[in-house]
Structure 1
Amino acid sequence: MAADQKLHAEEARKCLQEQLKNIGDVEQRELKNEEGHAHLIYLKSMCDPILVNENLINRFYELDSMELFERFIGSFPSSLEPKDKQELLRNMLRGCVAIFIRDRVLLLDAVLVNAGAIQPASTENVMQGPDDSFTENIEVNLNMIRHRYQTTDLKTEFMTVGTISQTRLIIMYDEAKVEDSVLKELKKRLSELKADIIQSASEIERHTMHPKLRLFPTLMLTERPDRAVLNISQGKICVLMDSTGYVLLLPAIFNDFFTAMDDKIQLPPIGWFLKGIRYIALFITVMMPSLYVAFTSYNPEILKMQITLLIAGSRATVPYPSSFEVIFMLLAMEFLVEASVRLPKAVSQSATTVGGLILGTAATEAGLVSNVMIILVAAVAITNFVIPITMMSMGIRVTKYVFIVLSTFFGLVGIVLGIVSLIMYLTSLRSFGKPYLKMFAIEWRRKGDQQSG
């Protein structure tokens, strides 16, 4: 019977090593003394190193016999002896240390909790769901993802970038769902990255993606662990970087940047409605300023007579063309937004609020801009902030100026040409070989495969 139990323990250890291969944060320790030896296997990102050292390694060398060491481990309320390999693997992924001693397999709970270092999300807020965010410690971030994604298919590979900074990276992916071509291309680009100092995840996006001059991001930056876990479960790759509170998700398509985590929590019709609202906001923030210029300067007959007269009356005192008026007010809004980012938090909100009110009121009373223009600028600012991912909202802020220039010189014809050119440009973009405007094709294909299966 002892031989069978020993065989079972040895088979469990080999099975565990096979299941956890290609996982960079697996730690194996061989403990030996005059009385015998023990073998420890655990995940460094999930287990508290202090508990492992004090309760296992130090005690192994302090106790006189292996029998006393076994009894010491069994005295912990959190220790248990797994019944099968599935229970052993499940508890290891949860944060237990597997101890192989003589003919037995024991588990000791040593889960690492980093709640004190975790702060609420600041740039990607949600109404419901988890509110934690990544930290600047790469081990803490790895721990947060593993707590949510407990499977041996979650692989980790360690790299360093930056010839001087030697910044640590962790590439995380689900081995059963990731595409090998995307993974190989990512490793190739990271290995070819030539930069002395890498201090933020956005620098990796700028150095590795092609073409270099792009208006829209083709990799996603997020501070939310739940978004990272969701994307890993969809077959994407997560790149963690030391000293930054954001991770990279790839490949990223256009639709990903308009998806908030609330969409997954709410009922499906509500999630579809919220996403539709964001696309409407996209249209308003990009097209409304250029349409204002086209309608007032080129094609006022398209609008109803009452609206045309209303706009013309409000612009009666404005001494310059509508294009200059639009650009002047939009740039003033950009100055206020930039000031709110750069000022200290204690004064930023009050300074920008007072500045916006004074600027808008004074410009209107002086006849430099129309009342309709104030409403338009407010609508553009609000709709731009509806976009969930900041990287995409920055690109959208620049795009609207291109449409203003086109409408200034060509009117509605320029806007139509701009829309066609923008769609062609987005269609030409690729994120690690994936079409940027793939949109919902992945979800439709997955649902079709499930129904056929």
Structure 2
Amino acid sequence: MTESAQPSDLNVPELLQALAGFADLEQQTLHHKESRAFILYIRSLCDPAFVSGRLVAPFYELGGGEAYAKYLEGCPGRQEAANTQEALALLLRGYLLIQTEEGRVTLVDALKAQVSPVEETSDESIVQGPSDSLTEALEVNLNLIRRRYQSAHLKLETVILGSLSQTKTAILYDESRVDQTVLAELKRRLDGIKEGKVEVLQAAGELERLLSEDPLRIFPLLVVSERPDRLVLGLSEGKIVILLDTTGYGILLPSTSNDFLTAMDDKYQMPVVGLFLRLLRYIGVAITLWLPALYVAFTSYNPEIVRIQIALLIAGSRATVPYPAFVEVLLMLLMMEFLVEASLRLPKAIGPAATTVGGLILGQAATAAGLVGNIMIILVSAVAISNFMIPLNMMSFTVRVLKYFFLALCAMFGMVGLVMGLVGMVMYMSHLRSFGKPYMRLYLIRNIRRTFKRARGG
């Protein structure tokens, strides 16, 4: 950078005034014979080994002056700031400022990122396939994806979100496969987030909420995943991946309802096995949503639908229960919700044991006291187990909430309420759009045909 190209709006004294009160601000003047250089950086953000070995030591080795200025021009991670505000923003992101005696100012990336190493996935369990997960470092996550997707068509764009957090956000897409209308819509919404004066952005789930324009929706419209292989598969299908610095999750868009019920292990299994596992998850969702509601409907409104032996069995188990079936189901479901939340919030060393013992004691004591029926314990256990079959937590939480909606309808209207709720849910899901794409696109029938065609060798 020549002296004539030095921006006149960058004022170092003004920069020092803006950084007044920073106890971790480091400013030094380097001397070597007749040469001098002034360095300025925030000590808690910068790597001291990099500063000493790559920036300070070469000043003395090269003797400063023009040779050191040329060295800085070829230094990796070098940035130019047009004014004081841009220089301040770069310093707050871990850059180091160097001003030579000629007045030339250079900013070099010296950030020391404190991140966790690449570990196994914790939220999405693995049976077969790669086990590494995303980390809090954006550069590491980009490495994990580019190693798996080695295509020249994979493009990367970056944007800064959050006026205070200054979160670096990366947008990845395959230029030859992406839908340009979806990409344009994404950029429009990101511009809206920047104009909306969002101050702090720390998590992918927070960005997912901001990108979805309907604040009252109950279904997740974007997949939030920690698995690089899921994101790479989405890129190959023409989808867009969003990665945030400081968070170990990525966003995949646009998404359909089928994406939330598909585990990556389905892709690695034999086609028939993968199809069977996917069918099991759909059955598990149906059990979670409708089994408590059906129990209330059969018990309180429509006992004639079930066989007489089952009706008598339910009536016998509820002989000592002092309140209606709706209260019995609601009480046990809430108790199960308490146990699930406790298992998540307690320390990992005691959480599983405490909730398991607590569930056994509560269930046994409730049936022995005649507060709930034996069949109710079986029903609640089946609902809890089937809810855990959903591979992505975002959809699992949605299903946990929706079952109370169906339970209330069946408590008021019986089987008619269940049909009303089912029709309303299908209409609502059919109305949803994920970046303009239909949300209710079920690939189950197509997957069945593809599986049998593959099995025949076609």
Q: What interval of TM-score do these two structures reach, taking the shorter chain for normalisation? A: 0.7 to 0.9
Cα distance in 2 between the residues matched to 1:321 and 1:217: 34
Give the counterpart of 2:328 among 307, 325, 330.
325
CA contact (8 A) 2:137 2:245 kept: yes
- 1:343 maps to 346
Give the counterpart of 2:220 among 217, 235, 250.
217
The within-5 A match list for 1:19-58 is none
Cα distance, 1:440 vs structure 2 = 2.2
Q: Does 1:256 align with 2:256?
A: no
CA deviation map 1:308-362 (0-9, x unaligned): 1110000000000000000000000000000111111111011101110111011
Cα distance, 1:249 vs structure 2 = 0.2
Residue aligned with 1:158, SS: strand
- 2:203 maps to 200
Q: 1:367/1:428 Cα in 2 relative to 1: closer, same or farther (>3 Å)?
A: same
- 1:234 maps to 237
Cα distance in 2 between the residues matched to 1:188 and 1:209: 12
Cα distance in 2 between the residues matched to 1:200 and 1:442: 35
- 2:283 maps to 280
- 2:142 maps to 142
Q: Does 1:296 align with 2:299?
A: yes
Cα distance, 1:125 vs structure 2 = 1.0
- 2:378 maps to 375
1:267 partner letter: M
TM-score by length of 1: 0.72
Q: 1:435/1:442 Cα in 2 relative to 1: closer, same or farther (>3 Å)?
A: farther
Cα distance, 1:443 vs structure 2 = 6.8
Cα distance, 1:442 vs structure 2 = 12
Cα distance in 2 between the residues matched to 1:250 and 1:442: 22
2:383 partner letter: V
Residue aligned with 1:345, SS: coil
Cα distance, 1:191 vs structure 2 = 1.3
CA contact (8 A) 2:116 2:135 kept: no
2:191 partner letter: S
Residue aligned with 1:169, SS: strand
CA contact (8 A) 2:178 2:239 kept: yes
Q: 1:117/1:443 Cα in 2 relative to 1: closer, same or farther (>3 Å)?
A: farther
- 1:96 maps to none
Cα distance in 2 between the residues matched to 1:410 and 1:394: 25
CA deviation map 1:72-120 (0-9, x unaligned): xxxxxxxxxxxxxxxxxxxxxxxxxxxxxxxxxxxxxxxxxxx981010
Residue aligned with 2:350, SS: helix
The runs of at least 4 consecutive aligned structure 1 residues that moved more than 6 Å come to 441-444
2:436 partner letter: G
CA contact (8 A) 2:116 2:136 kept: no
- 2:120 maps to 120
Which stretches in structure 2 are left out of the alignment for 5+ residues? 1-49, 63-114, 451-458
Cα distance in 2 between the residues matched to 1:427 and 1:344: 41
Cα distance in 1 between the residues matched to 2:281 and 2:331: 26
Cα distance, 1:210 vs structure 2 = 2.3
CA deviation map 1:248-301 (0-9, x unaligned): 000010000011011110111111111000000010000000000000000111
Residue aligned with 1:286, SS: helix
TM-score by length of 2: 0.72
Cα distance, 1:205 vs structure 2 = 1.0
Cα distance, 1:196 vs structure 2 = 1.0
Cα distance in 2 between the residues matched to 1:244 and 1:124: 16
- 1:154 maps to 154
Q: 1:272/1:310 Cα in 2 relative to 1: closer, same or farther (>3 Å)?
A: same
CA deviation map 1:165-212 (0-9, x unaligned): 111100000000000110111111011112111110111111121211
Give the counterpart of 1:432 among 412, 431, 435.
435
Give the counterpart of 1:247 among 250, 256, 259.
250
Q: 1:278/1:313 Cα in 2 relative to 1: closer, same or farther (>3 Å)?
A: same
Q: Does 1:352 align with 2:355?
A: yes
Cα distance in 2 between the residues matched to 1:126 and 1:273: 17
1:140 partner letter: V
- 2:169 maps to 169
1:174 partner letter: D
Residue aligned with 1:226, SS: helix
1:172 partner letter: L
Which stretches in structure 1 are left out of the alignment for 5+ residues? 1-49, 63-114, 448-453
Residue aligned with 2:252, SS: strand
